[in-house]
Structure 1
Amino acid sequence: MTNSKKLFAPNAVFVSDQPKQDLVLKEVYDNLLEQGYVKGNFLSHIVEREHNFPTGLDTSTLGKNIPNIAIPHTEGEFVNTKLIVPVSLTTPVVFHNMINPEQPLEVKFLFMLLDNDPDGQAELLASVMDFLADTPANELREVFNFTDPHAIYAFLKQKFEDKEKED
């Protein structure tokens, strides 16, 4: 498991009211670029990758009324750091299901993965999947509906630190 203190950054947690996938990704990209987390060509690559290899995840298997999520990412060459970027969406945005790419999913929360190690995304993805599997449904419902970046950061940082202590 990776070090949670370095997996999240307080200035890389976002709440977006954008109505469309590409607009959400652009808004987050603009902030990440300004802070030096990603490179200038990141946006076109993450949008293209999301269109070709959707990352929407149907969370109905995790419990009742848990909002769907997406885990957008792109190759490490477009990224300057290793970070999980949580993004809460004030209204659901359509992404497509990673298992069934033809199926549109209304998504309410993103875990954008940034990893400048070409082979590192699997580790970040495993961390997110462990979080989903280990967190009670009521807590997932709660955090996926948070609209305060500080609350999202504090919750996720604590959960990932607790998981590290168990491992």
Structure 2
Amino acid sequence: MENSVIFARDAVFVTDETEQDDLLKEIYDHLLQQGYVKGNFLAHIIEREHNFPTGLDTSTLGSNLPNIAIPHTEGAFVNTRLIVPVALKTPVIFHNMIKPEQELPVKFLFMLLETNPDGQAKLLSQVMDFLAKTPAKDLQHFLNFDDPDAIYEYLMQNFA
């Protein structure tokens, strides 16, 4: 799949939100305006994140890497297939996907939008492959970008 199909320049964010629900609302507002999600998306992504957390401890990928989260919800609430990268200027607390009781300060999100129920696992797999294949030094640099254009360009060149 070509990267241009799963990334959109107008769906790359850098934010200074510090609370999870506010962060998800800020992203939702923009995605709704662009027509990428439906009006009921926000309630469902917040509910899903509270019940099935998506934070990932990246320490297994390399030392000093910022943690990430991969929020997503059912395809009935989205209009397109897209990975939405979001850089956080200040870490936001998400709960660990593996150990839901553990809080993780997250610095970067890969929000998944997928209309096909079977496609979500593939998008998740693509994100995980990108994280695993990118050298830790490069990943450290990328996960700390604070410019949407730099994030978009890096992903267009390096996301396989």
CA distance in 1 between counterparts of 2:75 and 2:46 reads 15
Where in structure 2 are the equivalents of 1:1-167 lying within 5 Å? 2-160=1-159, 163=160
Equivalents in 2 of 1:5, 1:16: separation in Å? 23
Runs of 4+ with >3 A deviation: none
TM-score under structure 2 normalisation?
A: 0.99
Secondary structure of the structure 1 residue equivalent to 2:89? strand
Deviations 1:112-145 (A, max 9, x none): 0000112110010010000000000011111111
CA distance in 2, matches of 1:90, 1:32: 20
TM-score, normalised via structure 1 length:
0.95
Q: Give the CA deviation at 1:57.
A: 0.1
Which amino acid in structure 2 is aligned with residue 68 of structure 1? N
Structure 2: which 5+ residue stretches go unaligned? none
Partner amino acid, structure 2, of 1:53: F
Deviation sequence 1:7-26 (CA, Å, 0-9, x none): 10000000010010001100
| Partner Cα separation in structure 2 for residue 117 and residue 4 of structure 1 | 18
Q: Separation in 1 of the partners of 2:14 and 2:81?
A: 20
Equivalent pairs: percent with the same residue? Answer: 69
Secondary structure at the aligned position of 1:102 is classed as coil
Displacement of 1:5 in angstroms is 1.4
Tell me how far apart the structure 1 counterparts of residues 55 and 126 of structure 2 sit (CA, whole Å): 17
| 3-state SS of paired residue (1:122) | helix
